[in-house]
Amino acid sequence: MLRAESLCKTYGRGAKAVRALSEVSLSVDAGQFVLVRGASGCGKTTLLLTLGAMLAPDSGRVEVGGTDPYTLNDEARAGFRATRLGFVFQQFYLIPYLNVRENVACAAVKGTNGGGDGRVEELIARFGLEGRLEHRPAELSTGEKQRVALARALLNRPRLVLADEPTGNLDEANAQTVVKALKDYAREDGAAVLMVTHDPRWEAAADRIVCMEYGRVL
Amino acid sequence: MKLGTLMVRELLHRKVNALAGILAMAAAAGACAGVVLLLRVFDAQTERLLASRRTASAKAWAIFQDEMRKDMLRLGFNLMILNREQNLSTPDEQTKTMPEEYGAKLAAAKLAEINHIVPFLQRKLWWPEKSRWITLVGTTGDAYIKAFGKQTPMVQAVAPGKAVPGYAIHKGLGLVPGQKIALGGWTFEVARGLEQRGFEEDEMIYIDLRTAQDMLKLPGKINGILAVNCVCVGPEALLTIRKRVEALLPGTRVIEHNSKLVTRAEVRGKAAKEADAELARQERLRTELRAGRVTAGTTLIPLVALAAAFVLGVLTWENVGRRRLEIGILRALGFTARRIQALFLAKAMAIGLVGAAAGYGAAVVAVKLWLATGEPWEMFVEPLLPALLLGGSLVLAAAASWIPAQLAAGVDPAMVLLQEGG
Ligand SMILES: Nc1ncnc2c1ncn2[C@@H]1O[C@H](COP(=O)(O)OP(=O)(O)OP(=O)(O)O)[C@@H](O)[C@H]1O
Ligand SMILES: [Mg+2]
């Protein structure tokens, strides 16, 4: 499902240049739940953004479901993200002025089965948010926020889910829920799920663990 | 999700930003509408004012007509056309002259109000042969008679070599027709004597104009022209007859002679003329005032529009800066750059539209209730001005937010997400 070959990414130039990715190769099959581990600053977020069709690598190649998103123009690449990819972030990144339902639905795209066919309600029910439909993010607990973010990420049935430390701000129980949801999504919907984390507790749940150090995969 | 929903939610979420924009646009639209509406009120007031002046002037002319009609039934006028430099205090000593053709020229003009034209050359002189003063008058008789054949001439022509003495002269000297008289070395035969008419004329001797010119060594010259009226014209003509004749015959002055009609018309016409002058003065004044207002308005409108555009631009720019993370998230979720740009443009345009509507409404209410309570609502409520304001505000808002919206579209989601601590 996801293949990355020899990805290199350097921020800045000259003396200030930081090599965030060097020769990273990686592949995740459909149905797999893969963890990425590594110290802070080793390039995990950079990797996720590169795989997520938002940050073009300096060299190397990314392929998601057979398509290299960096061969697409900006507009097509946005559509590619909307239909093929789901993102979950540590800080949830909900839209503050939209309520729970709207936050889940805001990424709905015509042509996927994201909008209008009960998918929103299904996800809201799956993540136990039925009583919170009209609430704004500011009125939610952190666990609820992350569940809303999860529902939003899964709305368009993405083939690849990229989660950047989604449990970093959560308590044990909520973290468990999130990890289980991601793993279940990989299993049941046959998607590739890549989750960045520092936390060794989730290693047991993973199909594979990718360790990074100084921009390299060990 | 529809852009409209997203836009409205955000507008309501960041009310202060939205309100500030609306206020700026409302101020601009209100100022524009105010300028236009005040001008409209001003024009209505002008129309009323001038209408009342026109009525006053028409009334004054009606009074003039009425009064003059009575006078003209009874009276006629005589005009004496003299050289402009002639001293009127000694009319006997008419030493200033004008070309003889002036008589023909005036006749050729065929002025409707003039009936008879009599050119003359006259001079008071000493008659050495008889040791007395006389007034010698050279005449051709009437140079022009309007209704020729129906009217008898004012003055009969005198044949060369003949003389027609006034009553005082032929009575005093016992002159009879056929008798020869010597006058300054010239000899004339008395043609007939005149009836007693009055003081001046009784001391005159009429001879042929050409002979008089030779005697006085003034070839081709006359002293003046007597023009006598016809009452077949309206009284307004009397007010301008003197000016028209003077314009026709350069270097002359026209005075009324032994009649009062023209002078009376001039006195009576004064009120009407003043009413006309007042109307003209008011018209000029209002035109000037209006021009001043238009100038002020056309200076003010671009200024307030520019200020509103500036405020809206800055607010949109600030909004883009504040929403960088949001833009990054939406871009990550698959929003295209173009939709992001549209989002900010649409927001600015919505603010422009609401602001313009509010400003227009406020201006209408303020002008109507405050400054123009007497004017009807219809003067203020019509579709063109609000349509222009709304259309203008859309264009202005789009232009003002174009660059910030472009910046928003250019936000790189990867950089935002990295910086926000991914
Ligand atoms: N915009 C940037 N310009 C320059 N250097 C950057 C930029 N963004 C990230 N870096 C650097 O690139 C390296 C990789 O950063 P990245 O955020 O991918 O690490 P990370 O593994 O996600 O760290 P963390 O666990 O703290 O989130 C770091 O050394 C970081 O300082
Ligand atoms: Mg990171």
| E strands, A53-119, in order | 59-64, 85-89
Name the pLDDT band for B91 (thresholds 50, 70, 90).
Answer: low
Closest chain B residue to A54, measured at CA? B414
pLDDT band (50, 70, 90) for residue A35: very high
Cα–Cα distance between B315 and B322 in angstroms, integer?
A: 10
Average pLDDT, chain A: 93
Establish, for the pair of chains A and B, how many residue pairs have beta carbons separated by less than 8 Å.
Answer: 76
CB proximity list for B3: less than 8 A, separation 6 or greater = B339, B342, B343, B346
In the predicted structure, residue A116 carries a pLDDT above the cut 80:
no
A164 contact residues in B (CB cutoff 8 A): 422
What is the SS3 assignment for B175?
A: coil
CA of A212, closest atom in ligand 1: 21
Residue A45 to residue B418, Cβ atoms within 8 A: yes
CA A214 – ligand 1 centroid, Å: 10
Radius of gyration of chain B (CA): 43
pLDDT tens across B306-347, in order? 999 999 999 999 999 999 999 999 999 999 999 999 999 999
Amino acid at B349: M
C-alpha dist (Å) from residue B107 to A2, A197, B122, B145, B385: 115, 120, 20, 9, 61
State whether the Cα torsion B340-B343-B349-B352 is positive or negative: negative
Which pLDDT score, from 0 to 100, does residue A110 have? 66
Query: Which positions ≥6 away from B52 have C-beta within 8 Å?
Result: none
- Predicted TM-score (pTM) of this structure: 0.76
| Paired sense of beta strands B224-229 and B114-127, if any | antiparallel
Residue B120 or B233, more confident: B120
Q: What is the largest CA-CA distance in chain B?
A: 143
**Helices and strands: H and E segment counts in chain B:** 11, 12
Give all strands (DSSP E) within B84-113, no chain letters.
98-99
Give the span between the Cα atoms of A214 and B68, in whole angstroms: 116
Whether the per-residue pLDDT at B260 is higher than 80: the answer is no
Is residue A169 within 8 Å of residue A142, measured between CB atoms? yes
Interval B365-380 mean pLDDT? 85
For the stretch B106-140, pLDDT in tens is 888 888 778 888 899 988 889 988 888 999 999 98
Contacts of B81 (CB under 8 A, 6+ apart): B102, B106, B224, B225, B226, B227, B245, B249, B252, B253, B254
Class of domain A2-217: alpha beta
Contact criterion met (CB < 8 Å) for A107 and B325:
no
Q: Does residue A20 have its Cβ closer than 6 Å to ligand 1?
A: yes
Res A141: pLDDT: 95
The domain segmentation of chain A, as residue ranges, is 2-217
| Dihedral sign (CA A130, A136, A142, A147) | positive
Pocket test for ligand 1, best of A42, A50, A218 (most atoms within 8 A of CB): A42
Residues in A 65-104 with any Cβ partner in B closer than 8 A = 74-75, 78-83, 85, 87, 89-91, 93, 95-98, 102
Contact with chain B for residue A194, Cβ under 8 A = no
Identify the pLDDT of residue B230. Answer: 61
Does the beta carbon of A45 sit less than 6 angstroms from any atom of ligand 1?
yes
Q: What is the pLDDT of residues B49-60, one digit of tens each?
A: 999 999 999 999
Distance A61 CA to ligand 2 centre (A): 21
How many angstroms separate the CA atoms of B170 and B160, rounded?
19
Flag the least confident range among B238-242, B299-303, B348-352.
B238-242
pLDDT at residue number A55: 96
Q: Is the pLDDT of residue B8 over 90?
A: yes
B402, B341 in Cβ contact below 8 A? Answer: no
Q: What is the predicted pLDDT for the residue at B379?
A: 82
The arithmetic mean of pLDDT across residues B148-176, rounded, is 86
Pocket test for ligand 1, best of A16, A44, A198 (most atoms within 8 A of CB): A44
Q: What is the mean pLDDT of residues A181-194?
A: 95
Q: Whose CA is nearest to atom 30 of ligand 1?
A: A41
Pick the more confident residue, A67 or B267: A67
Contact B333 A90 (CB under 8 A): no
pLDDT digits over B270-318, tens only?
A: 888 999 999 999 999 999 999 999 999 999 999 999 999 999 999 999 9
User: A59: which DSSP letter?
Assistant: E
Residue B376, pLDDT score: 85
Does the pLDDT value for residue B150 go beyond 80?
no
Residues of B with CB under 8 A from a CB of A: 1, 5-6, 9-10, 12-14, 325-326, 329-338, 413-414, 417-418, 420-422
A154 pLDDT more than 90:
yes
Using an 8 Å CB-CB cutoff, list chain A residues near B417: 45, 49, 54, 89
A109: confidence class by pLDDT, cuts 50, 70, 90 = confident
> Which pLDDT score is estimated for B284?
96
Cα angle A60, A66, A72; round to 5 = 70
Provide mean pLDDT across the span B251-257. Answer: 86
What phi, psi does B97 have (nearest 5°)? -130, 175
Work out which ligand 1 atom sits closest to the CA atom of A12.
4
| Banded pLDDT at B233 (limits 50, 70, 90) | low
**Alpha-carbon distance values, B120 to A135, B208, B221 (Å):** 113, 10, 9
The pLDDT of B236-259, averaged and rounded, is 85
